[in-house]
């Protein structure tokens, strides 16, 4: 046996299991190595793609109001460092014009402590607004060609200079996070988000794909209704090391970052596994099951049909979404959830769609702090020990081929054998 450490909540869990490590090779990372993150971010601001420098844009607006959109507490972007560089680039004379807007989409608003973790010292230095997707004063700007009503945060729409921040990583139906996602879903209405996300049943709406992806295309069209003046996005590898930062025009930055992210996060396996042990990546990625299910979607295709998928996710906040829980209770099959998505889309229900889709292929087990009763009712095996889940499988079958992923939210397994 080889002892490995698997992220679980805020700690690393020591596990004695034998298997093939499948996370992208850190040695092959494009990480900037010894370069300071702050220097990498500053370099991006000094060399924007497709726009003038931010300072030039702001100076041309004279006394205009500046809004900077930041990721909420469920993301892992280096927000404080990006804000450090942005504020320095703007200069002291423009500080009083800056407002920070937290892009929550439909997520619950962050607590004060969570905001302090995300923003650091900037929490105390600037006016901080939290987007509410149900606010009465959202501004309608038009409807996309796919029928999504573009209704956005009023403070963003009315700002003279609009800046987006964020990170570009895998997303299981938008292809990649980052760029346009700061607007839709980030600062959009609940109705807009529901309309957009209902497009996920399309076969092109999948992880690491933006070609003919209706979710991505709809997001991009919606963002064009209130195009940002400037964005900065970062890309980090699966170990959390900054790979690079890109700034300037939204579409140009997103496409550049997505190209790099795809190279970083996609791992061709060449094999299918009898058992796959996948950590969501620890806190905050495994804060609840709603977030952690992304790891299942990213990796389950590398398991043989009928094989075992073991998700390792603490889920200290429980299931994380009442609609997700309701749909898992109500719809017991993939076919049922697909019908519900097409006829009565509800945010949160889409997580049940992906869970049931994976469960059609694999036997799903979860090692977590979640209720055993709830998981068993859904047809999921519940464990408080990864080792126990693995040992049970070894008792059933000899010579078990096992794979291990330490950061499932940032690893897309791509089996290359035929007939998968």
Taking only the tens of pLDDT, the chain with its 420 residues reads 567 899 999 999 988 888 899 987 654 455 555 568 889 999 999 999 999 999 999 999 878 999 999 999 888 899 999 999 999 999 888 999 999 999 999 888 999 999 999 999 999 999 999 999 999 999 999 999 999 999 999 999 999 999 999 999 989 899 999 999 999 999 999 999 999 999 999 989 999 999 999 999 999 999 999 999 999 999 998 778 899 999 999 999 999 999 999 989 899 898 899 999 999 999 989 999 999 999 999 999 999 999 999 999 999 999 999 999 999 999 999 999 999 998 888 888 999 999 999 999 999 999 999 999 999 999 999 998 888 888 877 766 778 899 999 999 889 999 986 444
CATH of 3-22+269-414, one of 1.10.3720.10, 3.30.420.10, 3.90.800.10, 3.90.226.30: 3.90.226.30
What is the number of H-type helices and E-type strands within the chain? Answer: 15, 20
* Predicted pLDDT of residue 35: 65
Pairing of strands 381-383, 363-367: parallel
The alpha carbon of 132 is separated from its chain's Cα centroid by a whole number of angstroms, namely 19
Query: How buried is residue 361: exposed, middle or buried, by Cβ count under 10 Å (0-12/13-18/19+)?
Result: middle
Other C-beta atoms lying within 10 Å of the C-beta of residue 267: 19
Distance in angstroms between the alpha carbons of the first and the last residue of the chain: 29
Contacts with 13 (C-beta within 8 Å, 6 or more apart), sequence order: 5, 6, 7, 312, 386
Q: Residues 73, 168: contact at Cβ < 8 Å? A: no
Which structure tokens are listed for 197? 């996300």
- Catalytic (active-site) positions: 107, 171
Closest CA to 232 of 246, 242, 219: 246
Place of tokens 């940002």: 228
* Predicted pLDDT of residue 2: 62
Which structure tokens are listed for 176? 């990649």
* Predicted pLDDT of residue 33: 52
| pTM for the predicted model, two decimal places | 0.82
**Domains of the chain by residue range:** 3-22+269-414, 37-265
* Predicted pLDDT of residue 419: 44
Contacts with 373 (C-beta within 8 Å, 6 or more apart), sequence order: none
Domain 37-265 has CATH 3.40.50.11440: yes
CA distance 24 to 405: 9
> Given this chain, do its domains 3-22+269-414 and 37-265 carry the same CATH topology?
no
């Amino acid at each position: 046996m080889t002892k490995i450490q698997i992220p679980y909540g805020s700690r690393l869990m020591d596990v004695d299991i034998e298997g093939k490590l499948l996370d992208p090779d850190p040695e092959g990372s494009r990480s900037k190595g010894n370069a300071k993150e702050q220097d990498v971010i500053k370099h991006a601001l000094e060399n924007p793609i497709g726009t003038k420098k931010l300072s030039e844009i702001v100076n041309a607006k004279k006394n205009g109001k500046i809004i900077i959109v930041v990721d909420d507490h469920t993301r892992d972007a280096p927000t404080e460092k990006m804000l450090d560089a942005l504020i320095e680039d703007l200069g002291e004379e423009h500080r009083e014009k800056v407002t920070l807007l937290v892009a929550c989409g439909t997520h619950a608003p962050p607590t004060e402590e969570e905001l302090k973790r995300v923003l650091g010292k900037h929490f105390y230095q600037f006016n901080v607004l939290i987007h509410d997707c149900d606010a009465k004063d959202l501004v309608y700007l038009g409807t996309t060609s796919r029928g999504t009503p573009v209704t956005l945060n009023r403070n963003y729409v009315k700002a003279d200079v609009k800046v987006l921040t964020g990170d570009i990583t895998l997303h299981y139906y938008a292809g990649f996070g980052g760029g346009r996602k700061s607007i839709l879903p980030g600062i959009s209405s609940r109705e807009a988000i529901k309309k957009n996300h209902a497009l996920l049943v399309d076969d092109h709406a999948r992880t690491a794909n933006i070609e003919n992806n209706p979710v991505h295309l709809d997001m991009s069209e919606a963002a064009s209704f209130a195009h940002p003046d400037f964005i900065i996005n970062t890309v980090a590898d699966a170990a959390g090391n900054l790979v690079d930062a890109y700034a300037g025009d939204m579409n140009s930055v997103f496409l550049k970052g997505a190209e790099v992210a795809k190279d970083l996060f996609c791992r061709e396996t060449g094999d299918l596994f009898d058992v796959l042990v996948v950590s969501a990546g620890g806190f905050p990625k495994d804060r609840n099951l709603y977030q952690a299910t992304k790891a299942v979607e990213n990796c389950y295709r590398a398991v043989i049909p009928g094989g075992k998928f073991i998700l390792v996710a603490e889920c200290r906040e429980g299931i994380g979404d009442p609609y997700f829980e309701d749909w898992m209770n109500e719809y017991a099959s993939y076919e049922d959830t697909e019908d519900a998505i097409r006829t009565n889309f509800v945010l949160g229900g889409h997580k049940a769609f992906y869970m049931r889709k994976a469960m059609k292929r694999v036997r799903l087990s979860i090692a977590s702090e979640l209720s055993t009763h709830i998981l068993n009712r859904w047809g999921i095996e519940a464990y408080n020990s990864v080792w126990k889940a693995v040992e049970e499988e070894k008792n059933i079958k000899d010579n078990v081929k096992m794979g291990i992923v330490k950061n499932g939210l940032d690893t897309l397994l791509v089996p290359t054998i035929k007939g998968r």
